[in-house]
């Protein structure tokens, strides 16, 4: 077992020996499909902080994109990122650069309060407009009918709201460590309600130790959607949906670079487990990758068999 980089909190005191061991072990992939998309893609990546302006709240945009845009006529799908509370795209740069290496153009509003989703949607629309602008480096380089959204914590809710508000332009969303409704200190009508997702697809990802913010399963006494299971179950069955819990991580492991040494506290395992299947999901949903699709098929997909890293997997994907 590797030496863990830790800034331990009182959470550790309540862990079993087995859970602590899991929290000290990086989520390196074991399945064939996950291994493929865990690896860095073939595209070199350029990062341009603050390169675009501006969303509806006046925030600039950060960009992560393939350096050789449009090589061999390739059109790049778009992914718009939603920051967690007071977060920045730089805190998840390892994750976003990984996605860009697989041919996606990533845009992140610098908004630190993305819950409502409008600024996340604004960012996607910025790139749609850039694709039609002959003065832009993205001119005719983007696949504007293939847009995804990903967000962390509060930004996970923002990504969901962006999909709901998009009128179908955003095709898929990955909410990472989506907080239970009790953590939305907002008006009742503004809490995340996944029953309002009526189109596209969604892949819920959380860490098994992200307690109590994003618990995998619902406390029977809880009122409202207070777990990933509850959020998943609320999504209409007509929508393609998937959920999976990474064994070991807590709330901010997505900020690993890739390990926890410089991550936002708390981080137990690092970003490793978030690289493979989320990338494969976007490859499947936005690039039509049939090999990636094999990870998510209900009951028989690879995610259901990779029990070293994943648990509580559910899917309605045919």
Q: How many domains does the chain have?
A: 1
Kindly state the helix (H) or strand (E) to which residue 139 belongs, with its residue range: none
Q: Report the SS3 class of residue 172.
A: strand
Residue 43 placed within a domain: yes
| Domain assignment of residue 224, yes or no | yes
Q: Residue 227 falls within a domain, yes or no?
A: yes
For residue 86, the enclosing domain spans 10-315
> How far is Cα 302 from Cα 317, in angstroms, rounded to an integer?
12
Q: What is the CATH number of the domain that holds 185?
A: 3.40.50.1820
Contact between 108 and 60 (Cβ < 8 Å) = no
- Write the DSSP assignment of 285-305 as a string of letters: HHH--HHHHTTTSTTTSGGGT
**The model's pTM:** 0.93
Cα–Cα dist 236/213, whole Å: 23
Give the full edge-to-edge strand order of the sheet including 60-66.
45-53, 60-66, 105-109, 76-82, 142-152, 170-176, 201-207, 240-246, 310-315
Sequential DSSP letters for 29-68:
--SHHHHHHHS--SS-EEEEEEEEE--TTS-EEEEEEESS
The helix, strand and coil proportions of the chain, stated in percent and rounded to the nearest 5, come to 30, 20, 45
Asked if residue 70 is part of any domain, the answer here is yes
Rg, C-alpha atoms of the chain: 18
Is 280 contained in some domain?
yes
Residue 256 lies in a domain: yes
- Token pair, residue 307, equals 């029990």
Classify residue 3: in a domain, yes or no: no
The answer to whether residue 221 is domain-embedded is: yes
Tell me the average confidence (pLDDT) per consecutive run of 10 residues in the chain, 318 residues long: 36 41 76 98 98 97 98 98 97 98 98 96 98 98 98 97 97 98 81 96 98 95 95 98 98 98 96 98 98 98 96 98
């Amino acid at each position: 077992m590797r030496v863990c980089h830790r800034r331990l909190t009182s959470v550790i005191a309540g862990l079993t020996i087995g859970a602590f061991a899991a929290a000290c072990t990086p989520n390196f992939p074991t399945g064939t499909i996950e291994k493929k998309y865990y690896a860095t893609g073939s595209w070199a990546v350029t990062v341009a902080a603050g390169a675009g302006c501006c969303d509806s709240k006046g925030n600039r945009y950060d960009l992560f994109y393939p350096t050789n845009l449009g090589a061999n006529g390739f059109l790049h799908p778009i992914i718009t990122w939603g920051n967690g509370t007071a977060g920045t795209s730089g805190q998840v740069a390892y994750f976003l650069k990984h996605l860009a290496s697989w041919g996606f153009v990533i845009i992140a509003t610098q908004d630190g309060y993305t819950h409502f989703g409008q600024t996340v949607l604004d960012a996607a629309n910025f790139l749609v407009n850039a694709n039609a602008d002959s003065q832009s480096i993205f001119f005719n380089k983007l696949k504007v009918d293939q847009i995804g959204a990903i967000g962390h914590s509060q930004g996970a809710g923002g990504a969901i709201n962006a999909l709901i508000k998009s009128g179908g332009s955003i095709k898929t969303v990955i909410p990472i460590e989506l907080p239970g409704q009790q953590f939305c200190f907002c008006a009742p009508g503004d809490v995340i309600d996944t029953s309002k997702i009526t189109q596209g697809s969604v892949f819920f990802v959380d860490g098994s130790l992200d307690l109590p913010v994003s618990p995998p399963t619902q406390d029977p006494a809880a009122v409202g959607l207070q777990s990933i299971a509850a959020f998943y179950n609320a999504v209409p069955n007509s929508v393609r949906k998937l959920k999976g819990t990474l064994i070991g991580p807590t709330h901010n492991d997505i900020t690993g670079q890739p390990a926890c040494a410089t991550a936002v506290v708390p981080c137990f395992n690092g970003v490793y487990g978030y690289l493979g299947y989320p990338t494969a999901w976007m490859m499947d949903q936005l690039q039509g990758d049939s090999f990636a699709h094999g990870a998510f098929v209900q009951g028989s997909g690879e995610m259901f068999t990779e029990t070293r890293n994943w648990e509580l997997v559910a899917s309605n994907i045919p």
